[in-house]
């Protein structure tokens, strides 16, 4: 896929959303292309869900706009909703509702006839393994099954733009893989997919491209490989030591090996450096001379976890500010 | 247009299908209503003697029955408002706003659906008092049913306006309690209008109160000759008021929801 040459399914233009004094989304600009699976990553409160709710016309932008297949969420929200289906982070149903009734009603609202609705609801419920719970009250379902009922809405709808907000939270490993396969099937059948998640493995497994949000802003954008390659000091030397490490010692290492950045939390030190294989011996030597016992040392390429930590602030250093 | 009608029907069904889930609630309300109209209503009608009534045997008992039914219909319609508020607190509004349904259709569908559901809750009570009074005229019964339906749609519209106006579960609870208490008391539900003329503010509040108009319309519909001295306006005026209330509050709810909720006004 060459993303720049594709038609945008979603164009987010200078999007701002405020709740009182809080800025949830801050001048966001982003294009999501027709037919791609786009992963939206970010910690809790980063503005992912708010962005998705604006795309699905539940929230209105404070300023800026979002165009879904060319239709503005501000001016043509009725049109936009014909394209969009969303599975919310928190399942939306009343405690007295029964899964089959919820999904049958949903299927009819999104355009199925009664007989087709019955068929598609049964099929999707069987695929997700919740058919046997169809007549239980929603309040009696486990968290995982509630989530499956929420996901089923989008799999039934098969919208042109399918949005999943943390689709596999609360699901076991086997079901996670099953849901990922179903999301990929949805894309194969022509849907564009947006998946908001906190899970790196999910983003990496599914996404053609990933956007990382933090504090309402888009901090990074690219394919998983581009993001990994984009971290300054691409290699990471991770060291676990016995005992505390002084800031001055960290500073000395940084200067000595020309590290791009060092994160320190308790006994774990992460050194972001270029040509790590040439510098690891020097690092071990410095620790040895500094009287610090190294319990474990490893050299690795950045994972998406590293990308996430890098772009969302120095979490490993305990800096939540 | 066809799509909109289909959507309207489905949104209406959202509320109507809930009726079956409240069987215990319905049975309890029905049982209480039977006690109210067969014990308390009889007792109170012994206490109240109205000399100006004719000789047909129609008295305060009949007057009271329609008042009690109207009060019940009002309370249950307001209760639907509580339920809608609770649904929204649980995030159902976000789900419904994301569906391929026009906002206006959603608002009007919830109002009509809520009104129909409320009316269905009270249908056994209405049939019970008609049975008690020996009323069998199908045309009059049909008019009573339609007017009660219009009234409950109007009251659900009022409740939805309050829910969306306040955007707070706690404030909604308090205001619903106040509105419920005031409207029931400042009405001709239990006290005929001529007796209220000693206190003009009460008199005028009761005259324009939707509950007075609904209860008096039912009285006029079935016992106009016997109860006309207590009914403050001709039946056609009363029914116009009820239809106007229903249409007006539904349209207001529609416009209000469109303004308040489009763009996450709920939270």
Contacts 24+ apart (CB under 8 A), B186-189: B187/B211, B187/B212, B187/B215, B188/B67, B188/B212, B188/B215, B188/B216, B188/B230, B188/B232, B189/B67, B189/B68, B189/B70, B189/B71, B189/B215
Tell me the percentage of chain B whose pLDDT exceeds 90.
Answer: 38
Please check the confidence at residue B112 and state whether its pLDDT lies above 60: yes
pLDDT value of position B253? 82
- Both tokens assigned to A135: 């007549």
Nearest to B216 by CA among B245, B197, B237, B195: B237
pLDDT value of position A1? 58
Please indicate if any CB of chain B lies within 8 Å of the CB of A76.
no
Mutation target to probe the A interface, by most A beta carbons within 10 A, among B14, B100, B117, B266 is B100
CB contacts, 8 Å: A164 with chain B:
none
Please check the confidence at residue B267 and state whether its pLDDT lies above 80: no
pLDDT value of position B229? 78
pLDDT tens, residue by residue, B52-99: 555 566 788 888 999 999 999 999 998 887 788 788 777 888 899 899
pLDDT tens for chain A, 321 residues: list them: 556 567 899 999 999 999 888 999 999 999 999 999 999 998 888 999 999 999 999 988 999 999 999 999 998 989 999 999 999 998 888 877 899 999 999 999 999 999 999 999 999 999 999 999 999 998 899 999 999 999 999 999 999 999 999 999 888 999 999 999 999 999 999 999 999 998 888 998 999 999 999 999 999 999 988 888 777 777 888 899 887 888 888 888 888 888 888 888 878 888 988 778 788 888 888 888 888 888 899 888 777 777 887 777 644 344 443
B254: left (phi over 0), alpha (psi -120 to 50) or beta: alpha
SS3 B142: helix
Min Cα separation A255/chain B (Å)? 50
pLDDT value of position A233? 72
Whether the CB-CB separation of A312 and A219 falls below 8 Å is answered with yes
CB contacts, 8 Å: B92 with chain A:
92-94
Give the integer Cα–Cα distance in Å for A191 and A183: 9
The minimal CB distance from A78 to the residues B95, B102, B264 is found for B102
Mean pLDDT for B200-216 is 91
Interface A-B: count of C-beta contacts within 8 A: 58
Min Cα separation A95/chain B (Å)? 10
CA B58 vs CA B46, B48, B64, B192, B219: distances in Å: 13, 12, 11, 14, 11
Find, in chain B, the residue whose alpha carbon is nearest to that of A56.
Answer: B98
- Both tokens assigned to B128: 């019970």
Give the integer Cα–Cα distance in Å for A56 and B100: 10
Find, in chain A, the residue whose alpha carbon is nearest to that of B13.
Answer: A105
In this structure, the number of other CB atoms found within 10 A of the CB of residue B256 comes to 20
pLDDT value of position A320? 41
CB contacts, 8 Å: B17 with chain A:
101, 105
Inspect the interface and report whether the beta carbons of B95 and A84 lie closer than 8 Å. no
A120: left (phi over 0), alpha (psi -120 to 50) or beta: alpha
Inspect the interface and report whether the beta carbons of B101 and A81 lie closer than 8 Å. yes
Q: Specify the pTM.
A: 0.81
Inspect the interface and report whether the beta carbons of A60 and B264 lie closer than 8 Å. yes
Give the integer Cα–Cα distance in Å for A19 and B267: 9
Min Cα separation A73/chain B (Å)? 9
- Domain of residue B172: give its range: 2-261
Inspect the interface and report whether the beta carbons of A101 and B87 lie closer than 8 Å. no
B111: left (phi over 0), alpha (psi -120 to 50) or beta: alpha
- Which alpha helices (H) appear in A96-192, and where do they start and end? 99-109, 114-128, 143-157, 173-188
Find, in chain B, the residue whose alpha carbon is nearest to that of A96.
Answer: B21
CB contacts, 8 Å: B87 with chain A:
94
Whether the CB-CB separation of A159 and A191 falls below 8 Å is answered with yes
Please indicate if any CB of chain B lies within 8 Å of the CB of A299.
no
Please check the confidence at residue B197 and state whether its pLDDT lies above 80: yes
ipTM of the prediction? 0.82
Phi, psi of A118 (to 5 degrees): -60, -45
Q: Which domains does chain A have, with CATH numbers?
A: 3-228 (3.40.50.300), 232-301 (3.30.70.980)
SS3 A303: coil
pLDDT value of position A314? 45
The answer as to whether B267 is a domain residue is: no
Domains held by chain B: number:
1
Inspect the interface and report whether the beta carbons of B99 and A94 lie closer than 8 Å. no
DSSP string, A57-116: TSS--SEEEEEETTEETTT-HHHHHHHEEEE-SS----TT--HHHHHHHHHHHTT--HHH
**A17 has which bridge partners?**
A25
Inspect the interface and report whether the beta carbons of A61 and B102 lie closer than 8 Å. no
Inspect the interface and report whether the beta carbons of A78 and B90 lie closer than 8 Å. no
Nearest to A57 by CA among A36, A39, A38, A72: A72
Whether the CB-CB separation of A237 and A276 falls below 8 Å is answered with yes
Inspect the interface and report whether the beta carbons of B10 and A78 lie closer than 8 Å. no
Chain B positions contacting chain A at CB under 8 Å are 7, 10, 13-14, 17-18, 21, 87, 90-92, 94-95, 97-103, 262-264, 267
Min Cα separation B90/chain A (Å)? 7
Find, in chain B, the residue whose alpha carbon is nearest to that of A82.
Answer: B100
**Residue found under tokens 């349904």:** B101
The minimal CB distance from A109 to the residues B91, B99, B103 is found for B99
């Amino acid at each position: 896929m060459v993303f720049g040459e594709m038609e945008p399914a979603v164009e987010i233009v200078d999007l701002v959303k405020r709740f009182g004094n809080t800025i949830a989304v801050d001048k966001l600009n982003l294009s999501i292309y027709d037919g791609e699976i786009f992963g939206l990553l970010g910690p809790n409160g980063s503005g992912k869900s708010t962005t998705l709710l604006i795309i699905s016309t539940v929230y209105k932008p404070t300023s800026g706009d979002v165009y879904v297949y060319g239709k503005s969420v501000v001016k043509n929200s009725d049109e936009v909703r014909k394209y969009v289906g969303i599975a919310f982070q928190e399942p939306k149903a009343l405690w007295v509702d029964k899964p089959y009734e919820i999904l049958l009603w949903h299927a009819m609202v999104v355009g199925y006839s009664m007989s087709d609705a019955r068929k598609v609801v049964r099929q999707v419920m069987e695929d997700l393994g919740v058919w046997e719970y169809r007549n239980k009250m929603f309040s009696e379902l486990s968290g995982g099954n509630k989530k499956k009922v929420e996901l089923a809405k989008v799999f039934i709808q098969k919208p042109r733009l399918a949005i999943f907000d943390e689709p596999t939270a609360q699901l076991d490993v086997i079901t996670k893989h099953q849901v990922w396969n179903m999301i990929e099937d949805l894309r194969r059948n022509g849907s564009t997919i947006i998946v908001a998640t906190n899970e790196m493995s999910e983003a990496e497994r599914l996404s053609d491209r990933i956007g990382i949000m933090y504090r309402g802003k888009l901090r990074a954008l690219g394919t998983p490989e581009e993001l990994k390659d984009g971290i300054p000091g691409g290699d990471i030397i991770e060291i676990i030591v016995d005992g505390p490490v002084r800031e001055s010692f960290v500073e000395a290492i940084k200067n000595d090996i020309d590290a791009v950045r060092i994160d320190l939390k308790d006994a774990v030190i992460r050194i972001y450096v270029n040509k790590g294989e040439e510098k690891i011996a020097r690092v071990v030597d410095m620790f040895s001379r500094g009287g610090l016992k190294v319990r474990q040392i490893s050299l690795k390429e950045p994972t998406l976890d590293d990308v996430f930590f890098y772009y969302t602030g120095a979490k490993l250093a305990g800096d939540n500010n | 247009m066809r799509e909109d009608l289909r959507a309207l029907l489905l949104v209406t069904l959202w509320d109507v299908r809930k009726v079956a889930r409240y069987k215990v609630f319905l049975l309890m309300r029905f049982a209480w209503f039977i006690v109210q109209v067969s014990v308390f209503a009889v007792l109170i009608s012994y206490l109240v003697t109205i000399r100006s009534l004719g000789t047909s045997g129609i008295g305060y008992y009949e007057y009271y029955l329609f008042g009690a039914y109207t009060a019940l219909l009002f309370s249950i319609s307001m209760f639907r408002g509580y339920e809608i508020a609770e649904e929204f607190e649980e995030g159902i509004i976000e789900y419904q706003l994301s569906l391929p349904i026009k906002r206006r259709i959603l608002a009007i569908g919830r109002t009509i659906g809520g009104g129909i559901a409320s009316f269905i809750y009270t249908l056994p009570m209405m049939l019970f008092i008609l049975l008690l009074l020996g009323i069998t005229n199908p045309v009059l019964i049909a008019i009573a049913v339609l007017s009660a339906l219009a009234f409950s749609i109007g009251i659900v519209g009022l409740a939805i306006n309050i829910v969306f106006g306040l955007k707070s579960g706690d404030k909604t609870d308090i205001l619903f309690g106040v509105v419920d208490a005031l409207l029931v008391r400042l009405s001709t539900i239990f006290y005929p209008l001529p007796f209220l003329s000693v206190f003009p503010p009460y008199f005028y509040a009761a005259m324009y109160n939707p509950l007075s108009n609904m209860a008096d319309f039912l009285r006029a519909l079935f016992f106009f000759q016997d109860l006309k001295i207590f009914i403050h306006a001709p039946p056609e005026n009363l029914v116009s008021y009820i239809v106007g209330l229903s249409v007006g509050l539904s349209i207001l709810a529609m416009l209000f929801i469109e303004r308040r909720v489009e763009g996450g006004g709920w939270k």
